Amino acid sequence: MEDQSKGVTIEQVRALLSTALQVPEDQITPDLAFGDIPQWDSMGHMEVLMSLENHFSVEISPDTITDLVSLPTIYDYLQVNENA
Partner 1 sequence: MPNTRINITPHHLIPAHLIGEVESKLAYVDETITKAVVQPAGDQITLDLNSPANQDDREHLVRKIQQVVDTMAKGGFKPKIQILEDYLDRPIAFHEDPTEQLIEHNEINQEANGVYSLGPLVAGLVDYFESRFLELAQSFNAKPYRFPALIPAKYLERVNYFRAFPHSLSFATHLREDLDVIDDFAEHTICDKHGALTAEKDSFAPIKTLLSPAVCYHLYFAIADRTLSEGQITATAVGNCFRYESINLSSLERMWDFTMREVIFVGEKEFVLSNREKAREVVRRIFEEFGLAYKVESANDPFFIGEFRKQAAFQSAFQLKYEIRASLPYKSSTLAVGSFNYHQDFFGRHLNISLPDGSLAHTGCVAFGLERMAFAFLAQFGLETKTWPVAVRSSLS
Residues of this chain that bind partner 1 (CB under 8 A): 35, 38, 41-43, 45-47, 49-50, 53, 59-63, 65-66
Tally of residues, the chain: 84
Give the number of C-alpha atoms closer than 13 A to the C-alpha of residue 54, restricted to the C-beta side.
10
Q: How many CA atoms lie within 13 A of 69 on its CB side?
A: 10
Q: Between residues 11 and 60, which has the closer beta carbon with respect to partner 1? A: 60
Smaller CB distance to partner 1: residue 13 or 48?
48
By the 8 A CB rule, do 13 and 75 touch? yes
- Residue 44 CB, shortest distance to partner 1, in Å, is 10
Q: Which is nearer to partner 1, 9 or 57 (CB)?
A: 57
